Amino acid sequence: MLTEFGKIFAFLLIAIIFVIVTVFVAKLVRPARPTTEKLLTYECGENPVGSPWIKFNIRFYVVALIFLIFDVEIVLLVPWIMVYKEAQILGFVVGAIFLFLLALGMAYEWRKGDLEWVRPNPVPPTIKKPEIPQEISTNPSTPPLNQV
């Protein structure tokens, strides 16, 4: 019989073996065509060296938001695990509904192209009517958008 710590050790062992095996298998299977960009330190698509004060793509925010949602998902699933045994089948249903909702949201993001780095078929904003500047003080020297 394993002690409690023994279980943790077994878990640790399996985790380590899993990582080693996957890395090894990947090495066997994948093609190796290194380029300069590929060999750079990974910095989420940005240049790793240079000033941090650069303009970066607004899409990072979308990705960050989606990441946040799934981060919170993990946090919310932990208490569910704690009562999972007592709640029986009903608890499973509740958790499944929660995960289903998240998956649906994810599918929606995917389908609508919000996960693409460049949105497919972007709809350029069209301006139907000239905006009557009332509250926003616009620069009078610039012509209205519809005349550009």
Partner 1 sequence: MNIEYFFNSLAFIKPEIVISLGVVVILSLDLFLKNGKKLLPYTSILFLLVTLYYLVEQMMVMEPAFKPIDYFPMVAVDSLGTFFKILVVVASVFLVLFTMITKEFDEKFDRFGEYYTLIFGMILGMFFMISATDLILIYLSIEMVSLSSYVLAGFLKPSKRSSEASLKYLIYGAVSSGTMLFGISLLFGLVGSTNLFEINKFFSMMGAPSVIVFFSVLLIFAGIGYKISSVPFHFWTPDVYEGAPTPITAYLSVASKAAGFALLIRFLKLGFIGDIVSDGIWSTLPVFNWQDFLVIISILTMTLGNFAALWQDNVKRMLAYSSIAHAGYLLAALAVQTEAGVLAVMIYFAIYLLMNLGAFLVVIIINNQVNSEHIDDYDGLGYSMPYLGVMLGLFLVSLTGLPPTAGFIGKLYVFLALLDKNMLVLALIVLLNSVISLYYYIRVLKHMFLNKKKEAVEQVPNKIFESSVVFILGAPVLIFGIFFTPLVDFAKTSIHFLFSAF
Contact of 92 with 84, CB cutoff 8 Å? yes
CB atoms within 10 A of CB 102: 15
Q: Which stretch binds partner 1 (CB under 8 A): 11-19, 43-51, 58-66, 100-108?
A: 100-108
Q: Which residue lies nearer to partner 1 by CB, 6 or 133?
A: 133
127 binds partner 1 (CB under 8 A): yes
Q: Calculate Rg over the CA atoms of the chain.
A: 25
Place of tokens 């989606």: 66
> How many helical (H) and strand (E) elements, i.e. helices and strands, does the chain have?
3, 0
**Of 105, 116, 144, 146, which lies in the binding site for partner 1, with binding defined by CB under 8 A?**
105
Question: Considering the rule CB under 8 A, would residue 83 count as an interface residue with partner 1?
Answer: yes
37 versus 135: smaller Cβ distance to partner 1? 135
What's the rounded Cα separation, in Å, for the pair 63 and 69? 10
Query: What's the CA gap between 20 and 27, in Å, rounded?
Result: 11
Closest distance of CB 131 from partner 1, Å: 6
Contact range with partner 1 by CB under 8 A, out of 12-20, 28-36, 56-64, 103-111: 103-111
Q: Which of 35, 36, 126, 147 binds partner 1 (CB under 8 A)?
A: 126
